[in-house]
Amino acid sequence: MKVFIISGEASGDLHGANLVKELRRQEPSLQVKGWGGDLMQAQGVEVLKHYRELAFMGFVEVLANIRTISKNFKLCKEQIKDFQPDAVIFIDYPGFNLRMAAFCKELNIPTLYYISPQIWAWKQNRIKKIKKVVDRMFVILPFEEPFYKKFDYTLILLGIL
């Protein structure tokens, strides 16, 4: 089985590393490529882009780096198409990951989201996009399950907290 993982920040790298460790325990032959950091790499993920190259905060910084961000989208799409994964796992990082999930849906690649974007805190309208482009949402916070249910979205609550 081949999986592509996208994490754009340090906390996602930690969660991704733990996830890969568990997936490898269940499926030792798992091949994993993606975007992350040192912790994911230590678990055997072939990191194609480090999260330190992705961190643009605030409107001005994003605007100043719009070409780089655009190139990152294009690069990630090419890497996914080249790898031909059986699934893509997205970890938080919603501005980038929801767009990539839409791209993966177009290619009929299963889309799995691990660690929900905090749409319960802000940008609740993102639920519409999530329902369209995310096949399975895995959440870790107990209150997220009833939040998603009120929008008629079924998810999986992982009892790790």
Percent of the chain with pLDDT over 90: 57
Which residues contact residue 60 at a Cβ distance below 8 angstroms, ignoring those fewer than 6 apart? none
Instruction: Determine the Cα–Cα distance for residues 45 and 104; give it in Å rounded to an integer.
Output: 20
Residue 138 in tokens: 């895995």
Which residues contact residue 71 at a Cβ distance below 8 angstroms, ignoring those fewer than 6 apart? none
Phi/psi at 151 (nearest 5 deg)?
A: -100, 10
Residue 7 in tokens: 């994490």
Q: How far is residue 146 CA from its own chain's centroid? A: 22
How many residues are listed for the chain in this entry?
161
Instruction: Determine the Cα–Cα distance for residues 98 and 104; give it in Å rounded to an integer.
Output: 10
The CATH number for 115's domain is: 3.40.50.2000
Cβ(105)–Cβ(81) under 8 Å?
Answer: no
34-91 pLDDT, tens digit each? 999 999 999 999 999 999 877 655 555 555 566 777 798 999 999 999 999 999 999 9
Write out the residue range of the structural domain in which residue 45 sits.
Answer: 2-157
Number of domains present in the structure of the chain: 1
Structure pTM? 0.88
Instruction: Determine the Cα–Cα distance for residues 147 and 135; give it in Å rounded to an integer.
Output: 17
